[in-house]
Amino acid sequence: MPFPSRRKILRGFLNGAAVSVSLPLLDCFLNDGGTALAAGAPMPLRFGTWFWGLGVTPGRWKPTVLGRNYDIGPELKAIEPWKDQVSILSGYDVKLDGKPNIPHGSGGIGFRTGVAPTGGVLPAPSFDVLISDQVGSSTRFRSLEISATGDQSNSLSGRGNGSLNPAEGSPAGLYTRLFGPGFTDPNSGEFKPDPMVMARKSVLSAVSEQRKDLENSVGAEDRRRLDQYYTALRQTEQQLAIQLEKPQPLVACKIPDAPPMGEVGNQIEHVVVNHKVMAQLLVMALACNQTRVFNMSFNQPASSLTRLGSTISHHQLTHEEQIDPKLGYQPESTFFVERCMEGFGYFVGLLASLKEGDGTLLDHCMVLAHSECNFAKEHTVEGIPVMLAGRAGGRIKTGLHIDGGGTPATRVGLTMQQIMGVTVDRWGTGSMDTNKTISEILA
Amino acid sequence: MIGHLHERGERRRGKTRLGPWSRRASGGALAVALAASLLGCATTEKAAPAGLAAAAAPSGRVVGMRRLTESQYRQTIADIFGRDIKVAGRFEKVARSDRGLIATGTSDSAISPAGFEQYDLMARSIALQVTDKRHRATFVPCAPADARLPAPACAGAFYSEVGRYLVRRPLSPGEVDFYVRTAGAATATTGDFYAGLSLGLAAILVSPEFLYRVERATADGQTLDGYSKASRLSFLMWNTGPDKDLLSAASRGDLDAAKGLRAQADRLLASPRLEQGARAFFTDFLNLDRAYELTKDPVVYGAFNPQVAEDLPEQALRTVVDHLIVRDAPYPEIFTTRQTFMNRRLGVIYDVPVAQTGWQPYALPANDDRAGLLGLGAFLALNSHEGRSSPTLRGRAIREVLMCQPVPDPPANVDFSGFNGASTAERRTARQRLTQHVSNPVCAACHKVTDPLGLPLENFDGIGAYRSAENGAAIDAHGSFENKDFTGAAGLGQLLSQSPAPSRCLTQRVAEYAVGRTRTRLPKGWVDALFKDFQAGGYRFRVLMQRVALSPEFYAPPTSELPAAKVAELRPAGAKAKEVQ
């Protein structure tokens, strides 16, 4: 029989469904938690990035006033309600040291890795990965990457050497990953370690103990890739180990409902909705202590955002749209910048709306929003626009405008790492090598 | 989406796809072999039967690790366990090396934590299905004496047999023992022999030896060992791991002698499965993986939908395979052929009536401007923007993809002021807009390379539908190539078919694809030699594949260590690729 019959395939699928039933049934879906005991315990500190593509418009975003009373330009309007919780960092440059400015590549990669790239890949670990190495090992996920435009390769997070942490692109996929099989409700009260999880953990440990044979016969380049493989394997093993421990109850953790199926793509109307839904899931992942590090992308570098019926995308607009002589800017391009900013405003508001411990979730977070260029029309990587939200558990001051005055953008990455407890005193290469913390924001 | 390629059109032209394990059939053949080798296993629980495992673990130096692509993963699982075993998961993409092939990207690709998480999920799901009540009789015919206890001999026989197809060489006794002990411990924890057995199988499925094609050199380091040779052959021709015949040939050392190698190469070339290998190559070569993810503005292009996004690359693959494999026609004629395939959805875009459902062979009219590869919707739509066509992207693809001539990126401070707006009176067609844009000499340097090849295709819009005017202005489709003037897509196709550049480019790409290395790291003189044979063989694709398979260079380990700086060209979405207007 060269091919299974249609009937056989159907039966096979049915059988597959029956098999999946044997996975642990999750009573957590029925439980809304709320019986937590841990009042007063210090809340974990979380770090996240929030990326938007194609920068800002000159004269419409960057405040002219420094310090606490910074002015709100048209493209900062969406941040206004959270002004005292959000700092603006302007004037921090990605320095290319004579390397070509790869359009929409150099800025984001340079900002995140501290190295001006020569290609489109991360030449070194991104600082969020260095932070997750420090704070990510006690949660189920070392970090979560999310893309509101649906493309899994839209990520600036990775360990370097060609490896990129792919993003979750659909609300349904994110929901399953977070709250599907493997999730334990911290507030359910009952806990019994699953023997299947115990067995799986031992199997993965055994596989990683086998590594010597292969490692001893490979060259340096392949060994590096094997190291990355074993790092990845250990993370899965660690997730299993966490599933075997009884979780601490968490008052703010409420299991969300599965999101409705919606369209995923570059159309701005869909992106706004998907960003909201995925932000809500992410917020609960934080409140339920599933991760402490995240990377959210609203759109891509060289954004493919479109409006229904428009023949050209956000990215094409930034280059082809004329600067309106009366307005002094590109009105169609600006439309998209404002939608991005509204996205971040929503995100900050959502974190601020969740009570946690003695404050809000936002108080226990540090969220760094940034783009890959300043003015997209010219691909400038000087003055990468940056916004910083949250109090980081009281470690930072908020609501300031600080101008870096053309100092390296690696100062931002260095400062983020230091606040999150990474022991590092200098970071970046070439002209971006720096040991100058942005001390103005330290509490 | 790439992975679904092989699932499409499997009943085409009434042919039966043969499985790799026997001349008789797929799937079931392995089951027969398994049942035979496992007889007696059910009653006696002694040491694993001798002869199933290799004498020793492979000892050669590892000279290459190529990550399995999604389509290779899916094909391998389907070949070993049959198509009713579902592979459900999200594959981490293997990035193209800079403007090159995914196949060369696999040599540099690293597995991220999120990627591993998905592999782990898929492995457990596959292993559960294989050992479930419905399938265990096929793959695990030896029932354990007590289903709550470990049964080492039974597990050992199972891993030996299945393992060699998964890691593409016999498992060493040490490896078999390792998986047996792993399964035994898991059985002890779960109290279920089949749960333990399935976790051991899942362990093979997440091991680096499965997820990577681990290539080893012989002791003298001069060539690949027999099993690595078998893998190269099989992945080149069939896009899957070696079958039983090929593994046996490798174990006998047949592949180290010209006669034995020739016999196997010819066997693989003669198989209908060659089609599956050709599809994998052309998907990679023509960037069709991206076509599956195409989106178009629904208001501008009402005829385009996600189903069409799947139909377009399928049409291209059918056309290419029919031309090169079924009709054994010369490669240059791929640019002039009028033979293609049509279904109802594409009929709407091509403006031809399609009476029946499903795919139909279709001959384009002889006087049509649409001909060959350049006239296919997949090429035209892929190299366009979401809401309009792009002569520059099309011209660049002809240069870079079809002729292997890299076009530089535009400068970062590019000035598009001459390109502003869409449809003023003087700027209604793309030619008019681009003419203004390239009045700037910095831009002109590259646009004069790309645009004369893209503008003649302007009679086809952003999804490949015919038009004679843009914004009310008639389209001027003249162009020039290699100092010859021509008009339209058909005219360009004629000239491309007369130029040696596309055939030479194909030769280079097949060589890169075969060994997973970029042009600069190919053995010296190899592409020239292959091209000579390709030319002499009347530009037949099979001849090219055969010459690759028989050349020692195909099996030569890379001469030096990969330079440390060499990394896969994984670029953030949108960066660079879309920078061209």
What interface predicted TM-score (ipTM) does this complex get? 0.82
Asked if residue B264 has pLDDT above 60, the reply is: yes
In chain A, which residues have their Cβ closer than 8 Å to the Cβ of B410? 103
For residue B29, the model assigns a pLDDT of: 41
**How many contacts (CB atoms, under 8 Å) link A and B?**
311
Average pLDDT over residues B236-240: 98
Q: Using alpha carbons, select from A226, A204, A136, A262 the residue that is nearest to residue B121.
A: A204
Classify residue A405: in a domain, yes or no. Answer: yes
Q: What is the pLDDT of residue B419?
A: 55
Which range among A29-43, A133-147, A275-289 shows the weakest confidence by mean pLDDT?
A: A29-43
Of all residues in chain B, what percent carry a pLDDT higher than 70? 83
Is A362 a domain residue? yes
- Co-location of A16 and A124 in the same domain: no
B297 reaches A (C-beta below 8 A): yes
Q: Are A204 and A134 found together in one domain?
A: no
Rounded to whole angstroms, the Cα distance separating B553 from B525 reads 10
Strand-pair category, B478-481 with B484-487 = antiparallel
Taking an 8 Å cut-off on Cβ atoms, the answer to whether A12 and B85 are in contact is yes
Residue B215 · residue B63 · CB < 8 Å: yes
Amino acid at B492: L
| CA–CA min distance B334, chain A (Å) | 32
Partners of residue B581 in chain A, C-beta under 8 Å: 316, 319-320
Chain B residues touching residue A106 (CB < 8 angstroms):
412
A335, part of any domain: yes
More confident residue, A334 or B16: A334
Q: Where are the alpha helices (DSSP H) in B341-386?
A: 344-350, 377-382
* B413–A contact, CB cutoff 8 A: yes
Cβ atoms A157, A126 nearer than 8 A: yes
What would the two tokens of residue B310 be? 């799947």
Selected for mutation to probe chain A from B133, B201, B386 (highest A CB count within 10 Å) is B386
Q: Are residues A70 and A55 in the same domain?
A: yes
Minimal Cβ distance to B571: which of A105, A221, A378: A105
pLDDT at B27: 41
Contact B132 A214 (CB under 8 A): no
Domain containing residue A178: 43-186+251-441
Q: How far does B333 lie from chain A, in Å, by closest CA?
A: 34
Tokens of A32: 């809304």
- According to the model, what pLDDT value does residue B11 have? 32
A263 lies in the same domain as A336: yes
Mean pLDDT to the nearest integer, A296-308: 92
- Note whether residue A316 is domain-resident: yes
Per-residue pLDDT at B432: 84
pLDDT above 90: percentage of residues in chain B: 67
Instruction: Say if residue B452's pLDDT is above 60.
Output: yes
Strands A386-389 and A359-360: unpaired
pLDDT at B52 over 90: no
Rounded Cα–Cα distance for residues B75 and B96 (Å): 21
Q: Which percentage of chain A shows pLDDT scores above 70?
A: 90
Residues of A in contact with B203 (CB under 8 A): 203-204, 206-207
Residues in contact with B524: Cβ distance below 8 Å, sequence separation at least 6, in sequence order: none
Question: Range with the lowest mean pLDDT among A76-90, A400-414, B18-32, B200-214?
Answer: B18-32
Residues of A in contact with B579 (CB under 8 A): 103-104, 302
The Cβ of residue A205 has, within 10 Å, a number of other Cβ atoms equal to: 15
Q: Minimum mean pLDDT among A14-18, A369-373, B183-187, B558-562: which range?
A: A14-18
Chain B hits for A196, CB-CB cut-off 8 Å, are: 190, 195
* Spatial CA neighbour of A29 closest among A184, A140, A172, A141: A184
Note the pLDDT of residue A32.
31
Residue B571 DSSP label: P
Determine the pLDDT at residue A27. Answer: 26
| B437-459 average pLDDT score | 86
The residues facing B213 across adjacent strands are B66
Instruction: State both tokens at B411.
Output: 């400068």
Count of domains for chain A:
2
Task: Please report the pLDDT score of residue A176 as a whole number.
Answer: 93
Residue A1 and residue B28: Cβ atoms within 8 Å?
A: yes
Both A322 and A416 in one domain: the answer is yes
Of B373, B399, B404, residue with least CA distance to B531: B404
pTM: predicted TM-score of the whole model, two decimal places: 0.79
* Strand segments (E) across A195-301: 293-297
Bridge partners of B320, per DSSP, are: none
Note whether A292 and A380 are same-domain residues: yes
The pLDDT, as a whole number, for residue A188 is 86
CA–CA min distance B253, chain A (Å): 22
pLDDT band at B418 (very low <50, low <70, confident <90, very high): low
Report the residue from B181, B199, B416 with minimal CB separation from A320.
B416
Of chain B, the end-to-end C-alpha distance in Å amounts to: 27
For A267, the closest chain B residue by CA position comes to B297
Mean confidence (pLDDT) of chain B: 85
Q: Is residue A93 part of a domain?
A: yes
Is the predicted pLDDT of residue B575 greater than 60, yes or no? Answer: no
Alpha-helical regions (H) of A310-429 = 314-320, 331-353, 410-419
Say how far apart CA B580 and CA B390 lie, in whole Å: 9
Q: What's the average model confidence in pLDDT over A279-296?
A: 96
Q: Which residues of B touch A221 (CB under 8 A)?
A: 561-562, 564, 566
pLDDT greater at residue B238 or residue A317: B238
* Residue, of A184 and B14, whose pLDDT is higher: A184
The pairs formed by B140-146 with CB atoms below 8 angstroms and a separation of 24 or more are B140/B38, B140/B194, B140/B197, B141/B34, B141/B35, B141/B38, B141/B39, B141/B41, B141/B42, B142/B38, B142/B41, B142/B42, B143/B42, B144/B42, B144/B45, B144/B193, B145/B42, B145/B45, B146/B193
| Predicted local distance difference test score (pLDDT) of residue B424 | 59
| B398 vs A152, more confident | B398
My answer on whether A372 and A424 are in the same domain is yes
> CB distance B110–A379 less than 8 Å?
no
Of A88, A123, A89, A90, residue with least CA distance to A105? A123
Other Cβ atoms closer than 10 A to B424: 11
**Closest approach of chain A CAs to the CA of B494, in angstroms?**
32
CATH code assigned at A397 = 3.40.720
My answer on whether A90 and A218 are in the same domain is: no
Q: How would you label A177-201 residue by residue, b for 16+ Cβ within 10 Å and e otherwise?
A: bbbeebbbbbbbeeeeebbbbbbbb
Question: CA A158, CA A160: separation in Å to the nearest integer?
Answer: 6
Inter-residue contact B26 to B17 (CB < 8 Å): yes
Instruction: Choose from B22, B112, B128, B562 for mutation: most chain A CBs within 10 A.
Output: B112
- Residue B28 pLDDT > 70: no
Do A353 and A221 fall into the same domain? no
The reply to whether A170 falls in a domain is yes
pLDDT at position A357 is 86
Cβ of residue B241 closer than 8 Å to a chain A Cβ: no
Within 8 A of B167 by CB-CB distance, chain A residues are none
Residues A202 and A59 in one domain: no
| Residue contact A3–B83, C-beta within 8 A | yes
Give the per-residue pLDDT at A19.
29
**pLDDT at residue B202 in the model:** 97
Same domain, A258 and A157: yes
Q: Is residue A345 part of a domain?
A: yes
Q: What are phi and psi of A162, to 5 degrees?
A: 85, -5
Both A329 and A364 in one domain: the answer is: yes
Are A316 and B581 within 8 A, CB to CB? yes
| Maximum separation of any 2 CA atoms in chain A, in Å | 77
Whole-number Å distance between alpha carbons of B5 and B312: 12
Position B37 confidence tier, pLDDT thresholds 50, 70, 90:
very low
A-chain CB neighbours of B27 within 8 Å are 1, 4
In a mutational test of the A interface, the residue from B116, B176, B440 whose CB has the highest number of chain A CBs within 10 Å is B116
Instruction: Provide the pLDDT confidence category of residue B560 given band limits of 50, 70 and 90.
Output: low
Is B576's CB within 8 Å of A9's CB? Answer: no
pLDDT at B57: 60
Residue B440: band (very low, low, confident or very high) from pLDDT cuts 50, 70, 90: confident
Residue A416 lies inside a defined structural domain of this protein? yes
Q: Which of A409-423, B81-95, B414-428 has the highest mean pLDDT?
A: A409-423
Element (H or E) spanning B121, and its range?
helix B113-130
CA dihedral sign of residues B509, B519, B241, B228: positive
- Judged on CB neighbours under 10 Å (0-12, 13-18, 19+), A265 is buried
Measured in whole angstroms, how far is the alpha carbon of residue A312 from the centre of its chain? Answer: 28
The three-state secondary structure class of A406 is: strand
- Which positions in chain A touch B414 (Cβ < 8 Å)? 103, 319, 379
pLDDT, residue A348, reads 98
